[in-house]
Structure 1
Amino acid sequence: MSRLHSPDGINTLEEAEATLAQLALAADRIAKTESVAQKRIDTIKAELQAATAADEAIVELHTRRLEEWAEKARAELWAGKKSKKFRGGSMGWRLSSALELRAKPDDVLQALVDRKLFEAIKVTESLKKAVIKDYPPSLQVELGVEFVTRDKFFVEPDKDTNREASPRIKAPPKGGPGGEA
């Protein structure tokens, strides 16, 4: 074969083909290694979900119970305050903003296209809520959306890992908060 002078050390067609074959083998090994790693990651995620499912249900149940209690006692305990520190953690309300669609997503999308507001549209033609949120309220109304800010309940337990649960707290029934098996 003819020789080409190259500063990177490949000088013939045969060397180029051999190098390309080595590159392909290395790329295959990378793909196989990534595939094995992804399977291990998926297995670990599934194990994590199984190991934490009961505690996730407890957290959800107790958060809901605390929110219901806090809402009943809001005027008394939270007069003029958004949050309160308790033994074991804090709870209360903090502002949480969200873009709520008042119209169907397809209608909002079409309104954005009609107004040539493409920066608010993902390439997949879905809404970019962060961009729409910055539009003037009058334009948001025209598009069929409204930017709202409301109190969102939160619970923040202290990071004390040596604490034991109070014996007065009942665990949820088997099968989760609703008792489903």
Structure 2
Amino acid sequence: MVVAAGAWSSQLPGLPDAARIPVRPVKGQLLVLRDPAGPGLVERVVRFGSGYLVPRDDGRYVLGATTEEQGFDRSLTAWAVHDLLRDGAELVPGILELRIEETLAGLRPTTPDGLAAIGPSATVDGLWWCTGHHRNGVLLASLTGSLLATAVGARPAPADADPALLRSVDPRRLEPTAEPIPILEEHRA
């Protein structure tokens, strides 16, 4: 069984307490803005502080994102809209002329060390973890698929796989009852 339930991964019923790894939700709010004149305000991703402005081809812009320790609360707040617009406008003042098309809030699965957990449980045979990606889930999707395929034994680890990377995402580092075991050597062909 692969546990890939995002922010709810440690909440799944039926998991033994000794096998649970600490995964908590971290709320993120963002805005989708639209330029009625079409694309062109910015052509590349603009980063500021912990935020970003991402242009889309259709004249929309994604402005994000907050990082909030609010448990499982996914409510939208006026202060987040205010802070995102204020911070973004310091670098791109033109965003204040755009229309707010959508506001979104989501929950990022986060481990205590901020690193993903991809691999086997130390305490339950046949239990595999794939969670804890925090803000980088989309960015790490391809790597995650490769690591999980290696972890479940569907394919050997690539010859150029970095052992430190594999150890850094080994979920056994998070289980209180076991020592971390590198997954690289277990699955290298």
Alignment TM-score, normalising by the size of structure 1: 0.22
Identify the structure with the greater strand proportion.
Answer: 2
Greater radius of gyration (CA): 1
Alignment TM-score, normalising by the size of structure 2: 0.21
